[in-house]
Structure 1
């Protein structure tokens, strides 16, 4: 097969044109030698792989970072965005409306694989390809369903007549129920013919089950009919139970870097090879690494100086940093009881720190005194950092770089005037962590350092077994609240990730409310930087009650209005305070429950074609 034929056929991905067009562009449609591509499994697979790459790019490109910023898990070094401040309007396109090119490619796979059965493709090969086309179509539409709730369902390759004024008129699904029914039906149709024993970077039956376990949860959250809600919650559990052969990795951090990139926990990941990948092409790598050097440290009276790479080990392009809010969720082993507790409720904290509420310490910068929530002073020889960060949930060490750790062969000081202090470049802003923490999860140990143009392997974890277990746990909790099943089954699942990944003792839970609190904390600590928390908050808000701090279903979501916080530690590590991140109006967090559960369908699309309406509530 000639390469130009694959490239030409791949161009069909764009035949439906941009979403801004009223009439879908279906030209050209007669220019390709179909038999060249669809007449053999190897060439058809190449088309499927290209389609998969494009579609899954939408799950990874920036999603590990920018959706975290839309919660209190992370802050952007240039300031907050308009979504969290309710500043976007009905013309906003963040919901990803359309993506007709990807849908057309999926439909091409389905139709051509069927047509060429017996003409170069065996029946089994044809079914394999059709199944992959349907799975990819479902995943394309899911990205739109969870943002906007509705989409334009297209289940065939369109011809010019379909989009003429007297032909097919584009219209959206009418309800979220209709949207998720299409998606879950596609997945169910695909599952029997998907391969079972494949690599983590390939489409598989396990991948379909893993996604179904989560998609059914999201569908249930937006479902108003109790019978249908139960049906989808049970489907989520059944899908989780159907995943075979996966297991929890014993070293949490290594699952996300070069040490265990093919972990048996990973069900699907997008893998990149250093032969055609540089660090600047990997957003969760380049854009979470700080940028400072010894010249800056000397100029601003900071240190100690860096010892590697000529005093420039950190020359990334940081935009996003994790918050103290997120760090608070990672428990510490209490030295007296041996149980996991909040870091500031542990015996070692109480015995070694004098805590002061409601005021700022004398050493706080004047303009930041109003930010201080509480502070503490060490009353023993132990340093604040030692007390805060020793014997934490093991996931903490695989997720964050923090004061006192060793990172990139450097001793890290995020203390006042430390080498990775938030102001070591002279003031707040690019490209340092506003919180005095940095992301470590998903950061490869690239030699010699993360620098634009440096080749690197990489993998983005899209779904894994730990996530599936937690999906099942959530469905069980929902059903328990509806009078079916027992919340203790969900607790047992949460204790799997807690004991294996966190290395903490199993937690004892006494009622459904405690079970929900445990589950929410466990999911938040397990899945940051995996494009999850934003969507989980929406589900919990829709469910209401114990899932959303006692608020009625569909009410305000406290997780979206929680102000992000940072830690400040003195140079001698004898005092600290926790303060609100106010830089760039990060503390301005709003949530309108009348509209934020769904993004708008871009009003410009509805203006051009009224059949795409009605507009989503509140927009």
Structure 2
């Protein structure tokens, strides 16, 4: 049974001494609300302190890929559009260190608590989990960053520490992750809604895949140990016997229904869910999906295989894309479970009537590209109320772990048929797609023409299965595939032929512009974006370079 107390603990951040105040320059100032003399005395103190980090858990939402080739928002992403300028302050540029400092504060004091060593290590493992996660996000954003293992005051010498090499920082992140996996309890022994061993293993698998492939494709060297660590962490979860791909045996609805459930704790695919309850903790995702101002791109829609398991460039089943209905015919069933097509029930009204899609909702804030995002969108009217959605969301999902495993094994040259059957093909079985074979043919229109066909298809499977969960830009960065942003299809929508346009009220489509092939152009002033390799890293805020000249040089190109 869900424990309200656990969620309330996570919300009681004001009771935790290191408050939410953010300071620039490595957030160096000590907090006065908590003193070493009055805290860190017992297990409850350790627990209360660790609670402050839980709001930063990486909850997966369905509107988190505007900065990628999957989505085309009405408002262009400034970074991918080349409009981003070097920020001045830390808060503007993401160079804030509150969580890292607070983690170090704990890790330098928790041992004094009157508690059993295993208890103390459990909470240290929670805090090191969050320190690892936050440092990894710093590395993803900035590359080389300082590594700090103690909390700083305004006179600490470490305030002027230089950046540490990316690889050195990530080696320290891995140490934290290993400690977390080793010292967190099994799910059966963990308090409801708190971290456990397999949640830590899921984060480790995610991070190690990112780091291993980043090192490989950016030619940093030493990539194989991280890929093997990704395999090891994935296998730890897979061999636990606790998790599986959720299915009811209905391939045309199961994927969609997975993301509109009010209770995921009993779902075998949820390694760790985020729990929401009426009037206790709620969110706004369904409402946002109804007013999103974004949609999937033409490039994303083209990525779906046909139902025979072949890409559209090879499949005789592909019907073309003159209409969205034709484009969805004979495709991977996830097409209609990710993209709103004819017959999708957008909302069930209070009087029982149904707001159903007949034509793609172009010319509205719902789907500017025509490829409407419906993942996580419930037709339940109660979920539409602002900030009152009670649908659980995933933090770590077993399908992602299987995808990590398959990709890491393929990168290591170890992806035989048994690997595919134990990973990719379990995911495909939910939607009745043909199993992936090691001898899969190469897509002649692949975005990765130089990549081996098997690895290419594993990447495709990842793109489809994890669409709209926030992974895509990280994937492009680690694969050194930023140039894909330049593909004109990444800023185009569905085809709007004159015949199709005539089916809409003239006022709805009057301002919609199409290209020479009748694909919707979301942006009238550009036909494609331009990638600059400096964009593999964000710039360090200029004020931080002034405060600490040892952070120089600025990231390349900025």
The 1:7/1:76 distance shift into structure 2, 3 A limit, reads: closer
Contact persistence 2:70–2:300 (CA under 8 A): yes
The answer to whether 1:186 aligns with 2:181 is no
1:215 to 207, 222, 228: 207
Conservation of the 8 A alpha-carbon contact between 2:202 and 2:401: yes
CA distance in 2, matches of 1:94, 1:216: 28
Identify if the C-alpha distance between structure 1 residues 584 and 246 changes in structure 2 by more than 3 Å, giving closer, same or farther.
farther
Between the aligned partners of 1:29 and 1:445, the Cα distance in structure 2 is: 45
The alignment's TM-score, normalised by the length of structure 2, stands at 0.80
Of the two, which has the highest radius of gyration?
A: 1
Asked whether 1:269 is paired with 2:213, we answer no
Distance 1:9 1:449, change over 3 A: closer
Post-superposition shift, 1:268? 2.4
Counterparts in 2 of 1:89 and 1:518: CA distance versus 1, 3 Å: same
**Corresponding residue of 2:437:** 508
1:65: which partner in 2?
A: 63
Q: Which residue of 2 aligns with 1:301?
A: none
Change (3 A) 1:186 1:113: same
User: SS at 1:211's partner residue?
Assistant: helix
Report if the CA contact (8 A) 2:100-2:134 is conserved. Answer: yes
Partner SS state of residue 72, structure 2: strand
2:234 aligns with 240
After TM superposition, the structure 1 = structure 2 runs for residues 433-448 of structure 1, keeping only pairs within 5 Å, are 433-448=367-382
- Residue number among 489, 492, 495 corresponding to 1:565 in the alignment: 492
1:614 aligns with 2:543: no
Q: Secondary structure at the match of 1:461?
A: strand
Aligned to 2:6: none
Secondary structure in structure 1 of the residue aligned to 2:493 = strand
Q: Is 1:50 the counterpart of 2:44 in the alignment?
A: no
How far apart, CA to CA, are the structure 2 residues paired with 1:605 and 1:150? 14
Distance change >3 Å, CA 189–CA 89, structure 1 → 2:
same
Residue from 488, 492, 495 that aligns with 2:424: 495
Q: Could you tell me which residue of structure 2 aligns to residue 287 of structure 1?
A: 288
CA contact 2:95–2:541 (8 Å) conserved in 1: no
Say if 2:94 is the partner of 1:155: no
Q: CA–CA distance in 1 between the matches of 2:303 and 2:66? A: 17
Per the TM alignment, residue 490 of structure 1 is displaced from its structure 2 partner at its CA by 5.5
Task: Give the distance between the partners of 1:503 and 1:330, measured in 2 at CA.
Answer: 14
Secondary structure at 2:479's aligned position in 1? Answer: helix
TM superposition shift of 1:229: 1.2
The structural deviation recorded for 1:203 is 1.0
Residues 448 and 508 (structure 1), Cα distance of their counterparts in 2 relative to 1, 3 Å cut: same
Q: State the Cα deviation string for residues 351-409 of structure 1 (Å, max 9, x = none).
A: xxxx7xxxxxxxxxxxxxxxxxxx64xxxxxxx55543345323233322223323324
Unpaired runs of at least 5, structure 1: 290-316, 334-338, 356-374, 377-383, 426-430, 542-547, 549-555
TM-score after normalising by structure 1: 0.73
CA distance in 1, matches of 2:392, 2:549: 42
Q: Is the 8 A contact 1:498 1:505 kept in 2?
A: no
The Cα of 1:96 is off from its aligned counterpart by: 5.8
Q: Given the superposition, is the C-alpha separation of residues 403 and 323 from structure 1 closer, same or farther in structure 2, using an over 3 Å criterion?
A: farther
- Closer/same/farther in 2, CA of residues 212 and 389 from structure 1, 3 Å limit: same
- Identify the match of residue 409 of structure 2 among 472, 476, 479: 476
CA distance in 2, matches of 1:137, 1:23: 15
Name structure 2 gaps, 5 residues minimum: 1-8, 248-253, 349-353, 441-450, 505-513
RMSD value, Cα: 3.3
Query: Contact conserved, 2:263 with 2:392, CA < 8 A, in 1?
Result: no
Is 2:295–2:372's contact at 8 Å kept on the other side of the alignment? yes
Cα gap change, 1:390 to 1:179, in 2 (>3 Å): same
Aligned counterparts of 1:330 and 1:23: Cα–Cα separation in 2: 45
- Secondary structure of the residue that 2:107 maps to in structure 1? helix
Which secondary structure does the structure 2 equivalent of 1:135 belong to?
A: helix
> Which structure carries more strand by proportion?
1
Q: Name which of 338, 342, 356 aligns with 1:412.
A: 356
1:578 offset after TM fit, Å?
A: 5.6
**Is the alpha carbon distance of 1:437 and 1:531 closer, same or farther for their aligned partners in structure 2, counting shifts above 3 Å?**
same
1:144–1:151 contact (8 Å) kept in structure 2: yes
The 2-side partners of 1:265 and 1:535 are apart by 23
**Are residue 596 (structure 1) and residue 535 (structure 2) matched?**
yes
Cα 1:502/1:261, change in 2 over 3 Å: same
- Tell me the alpha carbon deviations over residues 453-507 of structure 1, each in whole angstroms, 9 at most, x when there is no partner: 6x33133323211111111222222222xxxx34656544553244223320113
Contact 1:323–1:437 at 8 Å: present in 2 too?
Answer: yes
* SS in structure 2 at match of 1:340: coil
Q: 1:256–1:442: 8 Å Cα contact kept in structure 2? A: yes
Q: Aligned in 2, Cα 1:133/1:182: closer, same or farther, shift over 3 Å?
A: same
- Quick one: structure 1 residues 148 and 459, their matched pair in 2 at CA, closer, same or farther if it must change by over 3 Å? farther
Structure-2 residue corresponding to 1:89:
85
Deviation at 1:144, TM superposition (A): 0.9
Aligned equivalents of 1:536, 1:275: Cα separation in 2:
36
Q: Does the Cα contact within 8 Å between 1:85 and 1:588 map onto a contact in 2?
A: no
Structure 1 distance, partners of 2:27, 2:475, is: 36
Contact 2:485 2:531 in 1 (8 A): no
The reply to whether residue 10 of structure 1 matches residue 30 of structure 2 is no
